[in-house]
Amino acid sequence: MSVRVGVLGATGAVGQRCIQLLDGHPEFELAAVTASESSAGLSYSEAAKWRVDSPIPSGAADLTVRETDPDAVPDDVELLFSSLPSGVAAEVEPGFAEAGYVLSSNSSNDRLAEDVPLVIPEINPGHLDLLEVQRDERGWDGAVVKNPNCSTITMVPTLSALDSFGLERVHVATLQAVSGAGYSGVSSMEIIDNAIPHIGGEENKMETESRKLLGTFDGAELSRHDAEVSASCNRVPTLDGHLENVWAETAEDPSVEEVEDAFRAVESLDLPSSPDPLIEVFDDPSRPQPRLDRTLGGGMAVAAGGVQTTPAGVQYNTLAHNTIRGAAGAAVLNGELLRSDGWL
Amino acid sequence: MSVRVGVLGATGAVGQRCIQLLDGHPEFELAAVTASESSAGLSYSEAAKWRVDSPIPSGAADLTVRETDPDAVPDDVELLFSSLPSGVAAEVEPGFAEAGYVLSSNSSNDRLAEDVPLVIPEINPGHLDLLEVQRDERGWDGAVVKNPNCSTITMVPTLSALDSFGLERVHVATLQAVSGAGYSGVSSMEIIDNAIPHIGGEENKMETESRKLLGTFDGAELSRHDAEVSASCNRVPTLDGHLENVWAETAEDPSVEEVEDAFRAVESLDLPSSPDPLIEVFDDPSRPQPRLDRTLGGGMAVAAGGVQTTPAGVQYNTLAHNTIRGAAGAAVLNGELLRSDGWL
Amino acid sequence: MSVRVGVLGATGAVGQRCIQLLDGHPEFELAAVTASESSAGLSYSEAAKWRVDSPIPSGAADLTVRETDPDAVPDDVELLFSSLPSGVAAEVEPGFAEAGYVLSSNSSNDRLAEDVPLVIPEINPGHLDLLEVQRDERGWDGAVVKNPNCSTITMVPTLSALDSFGLERVHVATLQAVSGAGYSGVSSMEIIDNAIPHIGGEENKMETESRKLLGTFDGAELSRHDAEVSASCNRVPTLDGHLENVWAETAEDPSVEEVEDAFRAVESLDLPSSPDPLIEVFDDPSRPQPRLDRTLGGGMAVAAGGVQTTPAGVQYNTLAHNTIRGAAGAAVLNGELLRSDGWL
Amino acid sequence: MSVRVGVLGATGAVGQRCIQLLDGHPEFELAAVTASESSAGLSYSEAAKWRVDSPIPSGAADLTVRETDPDAVPDDVELLFSSLPSGVAAEVEPGFAEAGYVLSSNSSNDRLAEDVPLVIPEINPGHLDLLEVQRDERGWDGAVVKNPNCSTITMVPTLSALDSFGLERVHVATLQAVSGAGYSGVSSMEIIDNAIPHIGGEENKMETESRKLLGTFDGAELSRHDAEVSASCNRVPTLDGHLENVWAETAEDPSVEEVEDAFRAVESLDLPSSPDPLIEVFDDPSRPQPRLDRTLGGGMAVAAGGVQTTPAGVQYNTLAHNTIRGAAGAAVLNGELLRSDGWL
């Protein structure tokens, strides 16, 4: 009874993670992988220079790579995970949706579009209903759901918890892992013994996507949260795991204990990839740390620690695995929500 | 006519940098080095496991290491640079000052004491006059001047510039190099492929020291600046160079150009270790970067970039070499100011 | 029916790995942990600063840390895994053996003693019978078995395979991970952007231990293999996984295919921690790589690749996880062999 | 009276080092820089994404980048340093030589050609006379001289010294810095927490180039040294500086002291870029280390240490800065030799 799924852009860093996460998935069966034209026709093991630190899943290795084209994907595939470069995604995703495929996309295009749900299942599952608006407006049989940027996902679960105290203003500084830029994104000469205080477009994504995620959907329209978010993004020599320093100003003045309780109270969902707890709270102020804590909950948990209350608001640190919870796993989890909510 | 100087705690990471900076110094002649009892009697080259990436200065290599005791230091030494662990410094520095030595100390003890000047020469040279109060109160022939913590020094020159627009509130996140913790401070297993969101006591130092540095000395008493400073400190796998993301809220709303002009307008001093310009401003938003920019001005310059004006205030990044401008060079520069101002 | 076991020196880097590997072990039940006097009486979770990237096993967290003394360990514990510093081990291991405990020790003391078996179960299981000699000579009820040094374990399985062609001479250069030196062994300032061409005593260990492992036990005496082994050891900025470049000269001239077949032919054992295959052979000459391949076989496999036949002999690369196959896992596997062979 | 020089391929990693080394050069004046067509017409500061950790030389910043074509380079430029990709170099270098330019090339094409001198000035300056053969055979007014591969340069000065004892056989394992692969050559995801035991073509270069460098030129023909060289090459997470473990078997059995004396006896030349001493010998077996020792002699010295005499021959470690002594500086030094020997 499992759903046949495919991965668009399966050979890249996020695509490979997606293949890894789908291996042995209880609800999804990998049936198709696509990549750029030059890889089409090769076996997946030939086309993907596999770099994940677990062996390439046998069910994926022998799949023939297809072109990233609706006609090239079998009709019995119902759900597609897209980790295409955003430029390519912008061109091809609408065609897939028109052809009836449901897409859970990690690509950054259209994340802010009025009729595209941007979803973290444990945080704003109700936004998925925006798909009715989308289908109405676009005349699609299929659908496109987006997950947010990796650095945004890392902080929004905690911000959502703090919104119970009236979230007003956020400062966030990120220490982002190199895998966030893809396999060739950051050269070793750039980053060894270094840090780079700029990631193009990232600050804006954090500011806009978080307000959409925290916004309200009234059944017809999605209004953004009016919290003011200001981000400063850095690349550091870490392989996986984005660490973020957050200051959140709230209308109320919660105590450290109330903040930690609010973090712990964010509920996980009854979906295969939703970890329990969703937010792991550390007492030790030196945690979370990327290398030690990025694989909590199979890489799907968010870790928080160092909670302080200061004149500048609630101050804390948060961490998530950027290519699992922040990308491939986010897309898979959205796929699980799509299935559970009956969109397939 | 050069001043004979000594280095207390000469074998540690900061002590070694100090020895390196004094090599060929136009005003100072290295005449004594001290270390812990176990090293006393050895030659400096035997006692120091030299790890700076330039050869050990010949003038230092053959010096006999002395005990860290006023009786062990020759009387004709006038100025002592102290890079002792703060616990040791708290015990021995007063004795040296009582014995008539002038100390330019990098140790963190007593930085906030009412009668101890905390000085960055280009920023608050007038605070040095607090030494009169110090001598009065303590009955010392000598004196103790402190330079601030490395992460504080990195941001205060730019904050001082912004104070012309009425500095009110600061958020700062740091990405600090491992050398800031000393040679054995951070193990490789802790930091490779990782980042640590906590450095004990550092946030408090940044918050309190910066307000003292930006404060006003009326000839009798030093009042602290009332800006609210909130810091979040991280250790990253970088060898040297602290990078900081700053948001500064000011009474006025300066433009990016006005901010950059204010940075460039901070004047260097006519002292051997004061670089010109003091603040190097980058247009490229991906700069400054630790590995590329930490040696600007011989490691004594501050680099700034990525200036933006946002609803959250002026946002920018700043960088300085933590063991040169942030420690050994800071102490040497304070020594130069002490000499220039006639305190020797 | 599981055997109750203890870990001596349980709080260090290897001790922690041991605790991790014993979690859920099908044959062993963790019943006691010891550490230095200062930790005795604390719970294990308090005493161990847990740094493995999986959570501390619940069965270990609440154990009370005991002193490393035979009297402090319960009598029903039959098997002890020792990862004590070698100086401490030299002092206390004989006392444990005399008191009747069977020790599987990773400590380097006594590895070359005539009556102490040095064992890699898949390679020289028969050496275990040396315990009869040991008990005779020492009058122990217990016993001490050693596993070799991490860099030795990494190359000996392949050398053993090549001995079928008449092993005569070996050159080996190692690229060793920082975890091999323990948690505080290598400071970050030493190793970031660096490599260190010296590890004290390591070259000698590789030369002597490998000849003992490849030697012959005739029931009474163990004679060493007469191959000449020359090692050059380097520390590199890798967390886990020792990579080694080997040249092996043999009496015969095997082809690349014969060498790879010989590697693949080394049999794994029917023990819980023995991986199948023992030696994973890569075609891709850029493999094995520490980060990608160190966890093969749960960290217990050896990976080999880049096999060439040159005038200088058979040239290839080999890799193993230094704290699992090279230390904690080696000790656990020896424990499994001890049990299987009836020594408990 | 300085010679006007140009740099072909000036925007790459080696080209930038070359520009840095020519800044303030006592004999050479930078007059032209070339790059790929897409950069032609831009200023050098616009075309080169400058990544060296000293500011871009003012004399270079404003030069207009030219096409890499003999017609595009002014006639009064006499000497060209080439750091072109080898494929491009193979196409364009002959045309420059035919047009009368003298080229000191770091590109790997033609290094083994019978009539192309491969030169390390302090080791085999006499090979330069092969240029007469080259001009005869090719009918060039100009000339092409090559420097060897970075990993070859690192070991050949010491091998040359050992040849006084009758060099017969060499095993060498390399730990090579990422800069050797150029700016984008090694991605951070490949190398952080890792090592790669393969660098395409590198082993062969070390084996063949070293035999040519150590060979004899009789005025007409160059015969290769008959030592057998076997190399195993690794990439490690180091920015600059290749470290190599060498075993050299010699006809005689020199003592450690004789070996070190032989290393120290290799003479430097009276050329601006030839360091004195050429080979720095360390007593401390943990040296040389890339980060600490790569800048000895301005990056032009070779460092050696850890000398042992073993049954496997003379064993030692050697280090050189791969983009200075191993590439850009090697080319500049060859240029100085060309000038000194009257080839311009």
Tell me what pLDDT residue A54 has: 86
Judge whether residue A92 has pLDDT over 90: yes
Q: Is the pLDDT of residue D1 over 80?
A: no
**Which chains have 3 or more CB–CB distances shorter than 8 Å to chain A?**
B, C, D
Burial category of D310 from C-beta neighbours within 10 Å (exposed 0-12, middle 13-18, buried 19 and up): middle
Distance from CA of D100 to the nearest CA of B (A): 38
**Strand partners for D176:** D235
Q: With contact defined as beta carbons under 8 Å apart, do B259 and B205 qualify?
A: no
Condensed to tens digits (0 to 9), the pLDDT of residues B61-91 reads 999 999 999 999 999 999 999 999 999 999 9
What pLDDT is stored for residue A312 in this prediction?
84
Rounded Cα distance, A247 and A228, in Å: 12
**Cross-chain residue pair C237–D238, CB shorter than 8 Å:** yes
Identify the pLDDT of residue B54: 86
Q: pLDDT grade, residue B146 (50/70/90)?
A: very high
Say how many residues make up chain C. 344
Looking at the complex, report in whole angstroms how far the Cα of residue B40 sits from the nearest Cα belonging to chain C: 25
- Could you tell me which chain A residue has the CA closest to the CA of D177? A189
Q: Per-residue pLDDT for A37 more than 90?
A: yes
Percent of the residues in chain C that have a pLDDT greater than 70, as a whole number: 100
Phi and psi at residue D293, in whole multiples of 5°?
-120, 0
pLDDT number for residue D51:
85
CB C81 within 8 A of CB C104: yes
Q: Please tell me the predicted confidence (pLDDT) of residue B215.
A: 98
Q: What share of chain A is helix, strand, coil (3-state, %, to 5)?
A: 35, 25, 40
Nearest 5°: the CA angle C248, C254, C259 is 70
Query: Do the Cβ atoms of C43 and C54 come closer than 8 Å?
Result: no
- For A51-60, D189-198, D309-318, D330-339, which range has the lowest pLDDT when averaged over its residues? A51-60
pTM recorded for the entire structure = 0.96
CB D48 within 8 A of CB D20: no
Q: CB distance D53–B292 less than 8 Å? A: yes
Q: Quick check: C318 pLDDT over 80?
A: yes
The nearest alpha carbon in chain B to C179 belongs to B189
Residue C1: pLDDT over 80? no
Q: Is the peptide bond before A277 cis (omega within 30 degrees of 0)?
A: yes
Q: Which long-range contacts (CB under 8 A, 24 or more apart) does C54-61 make?
A: C54/A295, C54/C20, C55/A296, C56/C19, C57/C19, C57/C20, C57/C22, C57/C23, C57/C24, C57/C30, C59/C23, C59/C30, C60/C10, C60/C19, C60/C22, C60/C23, C60/C30, C60/C33
- Dihedral sign (CA D284, D288, D292, D293): positive
The Cα–Cα gap between B242 and B249 comes to: 22
User: pLDDT tens across B25-63, in order?
Assistant: 999 999 999 999 999 999 999 999 898 888 899 999 999
Domains and their CATH numbers in chain D: 3-149+327-340 (3.40.50.720), 150-321 (3.30.360.10)
- Burial of residue D46 (CB within 10 Å: 0-12, 13-18, 19+) is middle
Q: Where does the pLDDT of residue D151 fall: very low under 50, low under 70, confident under 90, or very high at 90 and above?
A: very high
pLDDT at D312: 84
For the segment D112-138, what is each residue's pLDDT rounded down to a tens digit?
999 999 999 999 999 999 999 999 999
Is A295 in the B-facing interface, judged by CB distances under 8 Å? no
H-type helices in D26-119, by residue range? Answer: 44-47, 58-61, 86-98
Listed in sequence order, the DSSP H helices in chain B are 13-22, 44-47, 58-61, 86-98, 130-138, 150-162, 188-191, 202-213, 256-264, 290-293, 329-340
Phi, psi of A276 (to 5 degrees): -130, 115
Secondary structure class of C127 (helix, strand, coil): helix
Asked whether the beta carbons of D312 and D230 are under 8 A apart, the reply is no
Chains adjacent to B (≥3 CB pairs closer than 8 angstroms): A, C, D
pLDDT the model gives residue A280:
98
For residues B102 and B90, what is the distance between their CA atoms, to the nearest angstrom?
15
Coil, helix or strand at residue C118: strand
Pairing of strands D143-146, D102-105: parallel
β-partners of residue D282 are D305
pLDDT at A116: 98
* CB atoms B53 and D291 under 8 Å: yes
Decide if pLDDT at B1 tops 80: no
Please compute the mean of the pLDDT values over residues C293-307 and round it to a whole number.
97
Q: How confident is the model at residue A142 (pLDDT cuts 50, 70, 90)?
A: very high
Q: How far is CA D46 from the centre of its chain?
A: 27
**Alpha carbons C220 and C115: distance in angstroms, whole number:** 9
Q: What is the token pair recorded at B38?
A: 């176990």
Nearest to D245 among C197, C287, C317 (CB): C197
Q: What amino acid occupies position A94?
A: P
Query: Does the pLDDT of residue D54 top 90, yes or no?
Result: no
Q: CA of D178 to nearest chain A CA: how many angstroms apart? A: 7
Which has the closest alpha carbon to B174: B48, B290, B295? B290
Looking at residue C312, its pLDDT comes to 84
User: By the 8 A CB rule, do D320 and D154 touch?
Assistant: yes
Give the confidence band of D165 by pLDDT, cuts at 50, 70, 90.
Answer: very high
Q: Nearest 5°: phi and psi at D189?
A: -65, -25
- Can you give the pLDDT at residue B24? 95
d(CA D256, CA D315): 9
Q: Do C53 and A295 count as a contact with CB atoms less than 8 A apart?
A: yes
Residue with tokens 């550091």: A236
Looking at the DSSP assignment, which residues form a beta bridge with residue B249?
B169
Q: How high does pLDDT run on average in chain C?
A: 97
Q: What is the mean pLDDT of residues D258-275?
A: 98
Task: Find the mean pLDDT for residues A247-267.
Answer: 98
* A118: β partners: A146
Distance CA C33, CA C46 (A): 13
Tell me whether residues B237 and A193 touch, CB distance under 8 A: yes
Give C231-240 pLDDT, tens digit per residue.
999 999 999 9
**What per-residue string of b and e applies to A125-161 under the rule 16 or more CB within 10 Å gives b?**
bebbbbbebbbeebebebbbbbbbbbbbbbbbbbbbb
Is the pLDDT reported for residue A318 higher than 90? yes
| Identity of the residue in D228, D286, D310 whose CB atom sits nearest the CB atom of C198 | D286
| Contact yes or no for A191 and D190 at CB 8 A | no
pLDDT, tens digit, 9 for 90 and up, residues D214-252: 999 999 999 999 999 999 999 999 999 999 999 999 999
Could you tell me if A247 and B232 are in contact, meaning their C-beta atoms sit under 8 angstroms apart?
Answer: yes
pLDDT bucket at A51, cuts 50 / 70 / 90: confident
Partners of residue C306 in chain D, C-beta under 8 Å: 197-198
- Establish whether A225 is a catalytic residue: no
Min Cα–Cα distance to chain D from C332, Å: 26
B54 and D192 within 8 Å at the Cβ level: the answer is no
The answer to whether A233 is a known catalytic residue is no
Tokens of B185: 């401070």
Q: Do C286 and D236 touch (CB under 8 A)?
A: no
pLDDT digits (tens, 9 = 90+) for A125-135: 999 999 999 99
Is there a contact between B189 and C237 if contact means CB atoms under 8 Å apart? Answer: no
Marked catalytic residue, from A18, A127, A150, A233: A150
Chain D residue whose CA is closest to C314: D230
How many contacts (CB atoms, under 8 Å) link A and D? 56
Pure H helices in A242-315: 256-264, 290-293
What's residue C332's pLDDT? 98
In the block, tokens 């800031």 appear at: B180
Amino acid at A160: S
CB A15 within 8 A of CB A182: no
- pLDDT for D49 equals 87
Burial profile C285-303: b = 16 or more Cβ within 10 angstroms, e = fewer: bbbbbbbbbbbbbebbbbb
CB contact at 8 A, D65 and D42: yes
**What is the number of other CB atoms lying within 10 angstroms of the CB of residue B226?**
10
B321 contacts on D by Cβ (under 8 Å): none
Q: Which of D176, D240, D289 to substitute to test the interface with C, most C CBs within 10 Å?
A: D289
> Could you give the residue ranges of the DSSP H alpha helices within C214-321?
256-264, 290-293
D178/A186 touch (CB, cutoff 8 Å), yes or no: no
Q: Is pLDDT of C203 > 80?
A: yes
Q: Chain D within 8 Å of A195 (Cβ-Cβ)?
A: no
Backbone φ and ψ of B323, nearest 5°: -95, -10
CB C106 within 8 A of CB C331: yes
A236: pLDDT strictly greater than 80: yes
More confident: C1 or B109: B109
Q: Taking residues A86-102, what's their average pLDDT?
A: 97
Residue A219 has phi, psi (to 5 degrees) of: 100, -25
A210, A212, A214, A219: CA torsion to nearest 10: -170
Contact A63, A83 (CB under 8 A): no
Say yes or no: D311 contacts chain C, CB-CB below 8 A. Answer: yes
**Reduced to 3 states, what is the DSSP secondary structure of residue B18?**
helix
Whether residue A290 contacts residue A303, with contact meaning beta carbons closer than 8 Å, is answered with: no
Distances (CA, A) of D37 to B31, D9, D60: 58, 11, 18
